[in-house]
Amino acid sequence: MVSTVVRGSVDVLSTALLLLVVLMLWGYPRLQAAQVQRLVGWQGEYRVTVSPAGITCRNDHATLIQKWPFFQGYRETSGHFVLLSRDPNIMCLDVLPKRGAHDARELERLRAILDQYTPRV
């Protein structure tokens, strides 16, 4: 396409398709995020407590208590701890953002609890 532009003849259809693909690549994740926010936004703020008993997730309308045997293990990323259920289809997972910890000591304490009750996978 660059050689066509250099020669002075731009194929309108190719240009339109390229712009459409770029627009879709840019816009699709934003549309998905907006849709998810609309679906769960009414639930309010989530609060998660991790303890030796398990994980408790609360919002303005419900409380979910998950005991440690529910989880097959966890993975750690640079910004999150992701707990995976024992369901082979991984229909349920919990994502704990590290930004929820106040300091590095809390992250170490959380990591120690996770290591004690569920393996890294």
pLDDT over 90, % of the chain: 63
Residue 6 confidence (pLDDT) above 70: no
Do residues 75 and 86 both lie within one domain?
A: yes
Which pLDDT score, from 0 to 100, does residue 1 have?
53
Model confidence pLDDT, tens digit, residues 34-48: 998 888 888 888 899
Do residues 36 and 16 both lie within one domain?
A: yes
Which pLDDT score, from 0 to 100, does residue 69 have?
94
Which of 61, 55, 58 has its CA nearest to residue 43? 61
The range of the structural domain enclosing residue 20 comes to 2-42
- Arithmetic mean of pLDDT, 86-94: 82
Do residues 33 and 89 both lie within one domain?
A: no
Which pLDDT score, from 0 to 100, does residue 45 have?
87
Span of 38-47, 58-67, 95-104 with lowest mean pLDDT: 38-47
Rounded Cα–Cα distance for residues 107 and 105 (Å): 5
Cβ proximity of 79 and 97 under 8 Å: yes
Domain count across the chain: 2
Cβ proximity of 70 and 86 under 8 Å: yes
Q: Which amino acid is at 115?
A: D
Residue 83 confidence (pLDDT) above 60: yes
Q: Which amino acid is at 95?
A: V
Which of 73, 67, 102, 98 has its CA nearest to residue 85? 73
Residue 50 confidence (pLDDT) above 80: yes
Do residues 48 and 89 both lie within one domain?
A: yes
Which pLDDT score, from 0 to 100, does residue 7 have?
64
